Amino acid sequence: MVVHIISLGLTAFVLYLSAPGTDLFSWHPSLMTVAFALLLSQAIVLFSPESSLLLNSARSDKIQLHWILNLFAFFGTMGGFLAIYLNKEIAGKNHFTTWHGRFGLAAVIGTMITALWGLGAKYSSSLRSIMKPINIKLYHATFGLIVFCLGMSAISLACYSNWVRRRVEGYFWRIMFFTPIILAVCIARQVTQSYLPRVAKPEAPNSEIQERTKKK
């Protein structure tokens, strides 16, 4: 539940600050935060036994919702990236000159790679001759977590921008800076301690379980 509160709280706060639609730039922080802090985080914790809102749902339903959330996150990321790129072009400013911009660019590129790898995970059975389905899913989950952490790092580094410093001061600035880091740590812990081990060592098929039960 903590993950959801942090995710929603951070997203709501940034939306309040950016007031999306007031100008071109406003779409950058709003879309990026919705994409990473809200949609992508929810897409990841769907499979976590600690934070999933669909804990008792079928895995097929979780996978379908995971795809939907990631699809909207992808469009949000592309929209947020396009907004800041065009805004800098119009203003005649250089691109990716700050650590925020560089981490953000890495997160955007990683999002595109993860999306392609997600296609491989979805159709892993068709790629069996190239790579084991288990490895495809394991790499997809691992790389997705790395991309999420890059996105959270970019949000934290955005706190050093003039745009944020003009709007947020004192304790609110500290909260905005540390919240993405805390969210990244919480999700990373859940993924590495609960989800990744289950992917690397999947449960035995029902037939094998029944045979083991009979032997006992």
Domain range summary for the chain, segments of one domain joined by +: 2-215
- Assign domain 2-215 to its CATH architecture: Up-down Bundle (1.20)
Rounded to whole angstroms, what are the CA distances from 177 to 30, 59, 157? 16, 35, 7
- Does this model's pTM top 0.85? My answer is yes
- 130, containing H or E segment: none
pLDDT in tens, the chain (216 residues): 889 999 999 999 999 999 999 999 999 999 999 999 999 999 999 988 888 888 888 988 998 999 999 999 999 999 999 999 999 999 999 999 999 999 999 999 999 999 888 777 766 666 666 777 777 778 888 899 999 999 999 999 999 999 999 999 999 999 999 999 999 999 999 888 766 676 666 554 444 444 444 444
Whether residue 7 contacts residue 41, with contact meaning beta carbons closer than 8 Å, is answered with yes
Instruction: Label residue 171 exposed, middle or buried (CB < 10 Å: 0-12, 13-18, 19+).
Output: exposed
